């Protein structure tokens, strides 16, 4: 089984070297339908909260080179076939760090608690402030709840108009310019 803590510890400096913050490292079934796995890395540029394609490509190259070097030296980081996916967290981003809950307080989120958590398992509502490791959420069904951050299985923002309005747009420079390529055929 892949040690995600170890992978995260190795990937973090690669992201930091590019000026990015690591949001999540996760192994998941490959969408290619080949039975393999995907190593999903989400990172963000602190200035924008997102990554553009060129930034994803740069991080992908660094991580791939690091994994290749370690595997050539005999270390097995990921068993079996896998492919690497590097992406921006997106608008309806996962909440994986304490600072995510603080930064997105006032926005709607969906939080699923770990199995064995006492009380309801899924909460959906507006995030309140994070205090002493407790997430405050105004759940639409049960009212105000305080959830221990260390018992969260998964959490993500819910796409709303308010969230879209609060999200910094990517640099759209040049988006209104269309370049057309023409192919000239030589006469025979």
One fold for both 4-87 and 98-166?
no
How many CA atoms does the CB half-sphere of 86 hold within 13 Å?
22
Note the pLDDT tens digit of each residue in 41-60: 999 999 988 999 999 999 99
pLDDT at 42: 97
3-state DSSP call for residue 182? coil
Instruction: Enter the CATH code of domain 4-87.
Output: 3.30.300.70
Long-range contacts of residues 31-38, Cβ cutoff 8 Å, at least 24 apart: 32/83, 34/81, 35/81, 36/80, 36/81, 36/82, 36/83, 37/2, 37/78, 37/80, 37/81, 37/82, 37/83, 38/82, 38/83, 38/84, 38/85
pLDDT at 81: 84
Instruction: Enter the CATH code of domain 98-166.
Output: 2.30.30.100
How many whole angstroms separate alpha carbon 23 and alpha carbon 8?
A: 10
3-state DSSP call for residue 17? helix
- Which pTM value belongs to this model? 0.81
Q: Where are the domains of the chain?
A: 4-87, 98-166
Q: Please give the full DSSP string across 58-102, using - where no structure is assigned.
A: HHHHHHHHHHHHHHHTT--SS-S-EEEEEE---TT-B--SHHHHH
Candidate from 63-67, 134-138, 171-175 with smallest mean pLDDT? 171-175
């Amino acid at each position: 089984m892949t040690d995600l803590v170890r992978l995260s510890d190795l990937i973090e400096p690669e992201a930091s070297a590019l000026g990015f913050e690591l949001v999540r490292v996760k192994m998941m079934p490959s969408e290619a339908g080949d039975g393999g796995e995907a190593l999903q890395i989400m990172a963000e540029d602190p200035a924008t909260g997102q990554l553009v394609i060129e930034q994803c490509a740069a991080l992908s190259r660094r991580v791939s080179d690091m994994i290749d070097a370690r595997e050539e030296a005999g270390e097995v980081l990921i068993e079996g076939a896998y492919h690497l996916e590097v992406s921006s967290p997106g608008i309806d981003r996962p909440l994986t760090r304490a600072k995510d809950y603080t930064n997105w307080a006032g926005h709607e989120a969906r939080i699923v608690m770990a199995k064995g958590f006492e009380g309801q398992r899924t909460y959906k509502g507006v995030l309140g402030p994070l205090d002493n490791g407790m997430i405050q959420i105004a759940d639409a069904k049960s009212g105000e709840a305080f959830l221990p951050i260390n018992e969260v299985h998964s959490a993500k923002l819910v796409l709303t108009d308010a969230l879209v309005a609060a999200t910094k747009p990517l640099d759209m420079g040049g988006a209104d310019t269309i370049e057309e390529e023409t192919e000239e055929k030589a006469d025979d």
